[in-house]
Structure 1
Amino acid sequence: MHATAPHTYPRRILVAVTGLSPQVVTETLYALAVAADLPFVPTEIHLITTSEGAERARLALLSDKLGGFHRLRHDYALPPIAFDASHIHVLRDAAGQAMSDIRSPQDNLACADFITETIRTLTADQASALHVSIAGGRKTMGFFLGYALSLFGRPQDRLSHVLVSEPFENTWAFFYPTPYENVIETADKKLADARDARVSLAEIPFVSLRHGLPTALLDGSAGFDAVVSAARASLGPARLEIDLGTREVRAAGRRFRLPPAELAILAVFARRALTGEPALPAPPKDVPDAAWAERYLRELRAIVGPLRDMSSAEHALRGGMDGSYFSSRLSKLRSALTRKLGAAAGPYLIEDGGRRPHRYRLGLEAEAVRIVC
Structure 2
Amino acid sequence: MGWESQRKNVLLAVTGLTPQVLTETLFALSREPGPSALPQRIYVVTTAEGARRAQLMLLSEQPGWFHRLRRDWGLPSMDFSEEHIHVLRDANGNPMDDVRSGADNAAAADQIAELVRRLTEDPDTALHVSLAGGRKTLGFFAGYALSLWGRPQDRLSHVLVSEPFESCWEFFYPTPDERILTIEGKGVYDCRTAQVTLADIPFVRLRSGLPPALLQSSASFAQAVAAAQGYLGSPSLTLNLNQRFIVAHGQKVSLPPAELAFLAWFARRRQLNLPPLPRPSDGVPEREYAHAYQEEYQRIVGPLGDDERVRRRLRNGMSRADFDERKARLKNLLQRSLGAAAQPYLIQGRGPRPQRFELPLPPQAIRFES
Q: State the alpha-carbon separation in 1 of the partners of residues 182 and 287 from structure 2.
A: 88
In 2: Cα distance, 1:345 partner to 1:118 partner: 27
Tell me how far apart the structure 2 counterparts of residues 36 and 141 of structure 1 sit (CA, whole Å): 30
> Contact 1:17 / 1:141 at 8 angstroms: preserved in 2?
yes
* Aligned position for 2:120: 123
Give SS of 2:18's match. coil
In structure 2, relative to structure 1, the CA distance for the partners of 1:9 and 1:347 (3 Å cut) is: farther
Query: What RMSD, in angstroms, separates the aligned Cα atoms of the two structures?
Result: 2.0
In the TM superposition, what whole-angstrom CA distance separates every residue of 1:150-204 from its partner, at most 9, and x where no partner exists?
1221111111100112232122222122233333333546333322222111101
Q: Secondary structure at the residue paired with 2:265? A: helix
Report how far residue 9 of structure 1 moved: 5.8
Query: C-alpha separation between the residues in 1 aligned to 2:351 and 2:70?
Result: 58
Q: Say if 1:50 and 1:90, in contact at 8 Å, map to a contact too.
A: yes
Residues 164 and 186 in structure 2, CA contact (< 8 A), matched pair in contact too = no
Q: Contact 1:275/1:366 (CA < 8 Å) preserved in 2?
A: yes
State the partner residue of 1:47. Answer: 44
Residue 175 (structure 1) aligned with residue 139 (structure 2): no
Alpha-carbon distance between aligned partners in 2 of 1:121 and 1:70, rounded to the nearest angstrom: 27
Say whether residues 1:159 and 2:151 are aligned partners: no
The residue that corresponds to 1:4 in the other structure is none
Report SS of the residue matched to 1:132. strand
Would you say the 8 A contact 1:168–1:187 is kept in 2?
no
Does the C-alpha gap of structure 1 residues 85 and 286 become closer, same or farther in structure 2, counting only changes over 3 Å?
A: farther
Pick from 132, 135, 138 the counterpart of residue 135 of structure 1: 132
In structure 2, relative to structure 1, the CA distance for the partners of 1:152 and 1:35 (3 Å cut) is: same
Which residue is 1:311 aligned to? 308
Deviates more, 1:242-251 or 1:135-144: 242-251
Rate the CA distance shift 1:123–1:285 in 2: closer, same or farther, 3 A. farther
Q: Could you list the per-position Cα deviations for residues 224-268 of structure 1 after superposition, in whole angstroms to 9, with x for gaps in the alignment?
A: 222222222222222211121221212211223211111011111
Amino acid at match of 2:243: T
1:263 equivalenced with 2:263 (yes/no): no
128-137 vs 338-347, greater mean Cα deviation: 338-347
Q: Does 1:102 align with 2:103?
A: no
For residue 53 of structure 2, what is the aligned residue in structure 1?
56
Q: 2:32 aligns with which of 35, 56, 61?
A: 35
After TM superposition, the score normalised by the length of structure 2 is 0.92
1:249 aligns with 2:231: no
Residues 109-136 of structure 1, C-alpha deviations (whole Å, 9 max, x = no match): 2211111111122122222211111100
Between the aligned partners of 2:63 and 2:182, the Cα distance in structure 1 is: 15
Counterparts of 1:35 and 1:302, CA distance in 2: 64
Contact 1:75/1:179 (8 A) holds in 2: yes
1:10: which partner in 2?
Answer: 7
SS in 2 for 1:73: helix
The letter of the residue matching 2:314 is L
Q: What is the alpha-carbon distance in structure 2 between the residues aligned to residue 354 and residue 145 of structure 1?
A: 46
Name the CA shift for 1:355/1:210 in 2 (closer, same or farther; >3 Å).
farther
In the alignment of these two chains, the number of paired residues is 366
Letter of the 2:316 partner, please give it: G
Moved more, 315-324 or 248-257: 315-324
SS in 2 for 1:191: strand
Q: What amino acid maps onto 1:118 in structure 2? A: L
TM-score by length of 1: 0.92
> In the TM superposition, what whole-angstrom CA distance separates every residue of 1:280-326 from its partner, at most 9, and x where no partner exists?
11223454333333322222122112222223223333333332332
Residue 207 in structure 1 maps to residue 201 in structure 2: no
Unaligned runs of 5+ in 1: 1-7
Q: Which moved more, 1:87-96 or 1:73-82?
A: 73-82
